Chain A
Amino acid sequence: MKNSRRTFIKLAGIAAAGLAVAPKKVLASSGGHSPVKVNATASHAKHWAMVIDTTKLHTAEAIDELAKVCHHIHNVPSIEGKKEVKWLWHDTYGHSFPEQENPHLAEEVHERVFPLLCNHCENPPCVRVCPTKATFQRPDGIVAMDYHRCIGCRYCMAGCPYGSRSFNWGDPRLNLDMANLNPEFPTRMRGVVEKCNFCVERLAVGKQPACVEASNGAMFFGDLKDPDSEVRKVLREKFTIRRKPSAGTEPSVYYII
């Protein structure tokens, strides 16, 4: 048969018509469908949030106890001084809520110490400045870190108004108790920034964050967008404040004062 432009166009037309009537299954098998899904046991929320009752949880010892639980399950190294790595820690009222300082504040409130962690902001500056998208906001509001992508530029540390991020100046394994690691969770490597992850790995199997579980009811965790959730119930009943409102980052961690 002689190949001409006319026969080519005819054949092309037939092929296009065939594609149009081809069963969807054939098309799907050629890619575009994913073999993965969310865990069946995972907890879901439109926006995860935490409420901390500082009338119940306000001593350094109690907060350090929670930090110990958190740091153990996430293999966070313990380093003293400027190179410290922390996911959950405590600080004074003045340092925690600098804009809400009040010279005539009730002494008892002023003497409390406050548990601090990554605020998982609704409007996270760290995500905006990260050049590699190593830190990103998940659809459920959690600001997550992908340590595979972190290049250690520390823009996120400069961007975070809460000091919630730590840099691994050296190999974190040098400061970990190797015999007492949590084998279920990785460590980090030298040269990456790390922070609290709202226990995404526990939410993925339907558990509450470790600090919430260990707090004896002083911390609440749930869906901020669900009016019937526990956090919304607590927020309705109690007066709460958030850290550094003028930064405009809309933290997802609320403090009952």
Chain B
Amino acid sequence: MYNGFAIVAGLVIFFAMLTAPFALGTMTKQYKEPELKLPVNEKECIESTEYMRTNHMQLLNEWRDWALRDGKRTYTNHAGKEFSISLQNTCMKCHTSKADFCDKCHNDAGVSPYCWDCHVQPEGLK
């Protein structure tokens, strides 16, 4: 093989770089879910924790259309309990801190939803 050494060395470096993210990822520590500050007075959210964890974004998206566009502002959960549809006045009345609840996961996941461009966070605005 002509230039065998250069080719093999180049291939080794190429594959090392290609797999570097995976290698580094498995070597460094495991991702841990951030510790959220849960409401003190409330034990149950409007739906189960699992459901909220995976679906809160879809739910909020549906909520905003139901309340604003359809004028339907009462939500009945899977257990049959009723809630008033409102991010500011229902969700954030229990989760009284955006910084300790919303931001923790959002910062970890690198998502920045623009809810707070308009909605007033429970801490108030600076």
Contact assessment for B75 and A35 in the assembled complex, using a CB-CB cutoff below 8 Å: yes
Taking the closest CB of chain B, its distance from the CB of A135, in whole angstroms, is 11
Contact assessment for A186 and B76 in the assembled complex, using a CB-CB cutoff below 8 Å: no
Task: From known contacts A147-B118, A184-B89, A187-B118, infer whether A38 and B74 are also in contact, taking CB-CB under 8 Å.
Answer: yes
Taking the closest CB of chain A, its distance from the CB of B108, in whole angstroms, is 25
A-B contact count (CB 8 A): 67
Taking the closest CB of chain B, its distance from the CB of A71, in whole angstroms, is 16
Binary contact readout A166-197 vs B (1 if CB under 8 angstroms, 0 otherwise): 00000001000011010111111100000000
Which residues does B use to contact A, with CB under 8 Å? 64, 66, 68-77, 84-85, 88-89, 114, 117-120, 122, 124-126
Q: Pick the contact of B70: A36, A183, A185, A187 (CB < 8 A).
A: A36
Provide the residues of chain A in CB contact with B117, threshold 8 Å: 189
Q: Pick the contact of A189: B89, B118, B122 (CB < 8 A).
A: B118
Q: How large is the interface on A (under 10, 10 to 19, 20 to 34, 35 or more residues)?
A: 20 to 34
Contact assessment for B71 and A204 in the assembled complex, using a CB-CB cutoff below 8 Å: yes
A82 within 8 Å of B (CB atoms): no
Contact assessment for B66 and A189 in the assembled complex, using a CB-CB cutoff below 8 Å: no
Contact assessment for A186 and B66 in the assembled complex, using a CB-CB cutoff below 8 Å: no
Which residues does A use to contact B, with CB under 8 Å? 34-40, 42, 75, 136, 138-140, 144, 146-148, 173, 178-179, 181, 183-189, 200, 204
Contact assessment for B119 and A186 in the assembled complex, using a CB-CB cutoff below 8 Å: yes
Contact assessment for B74 and A37 in the assembled complex, using a CB-CB cutoff below 8 Å: yes
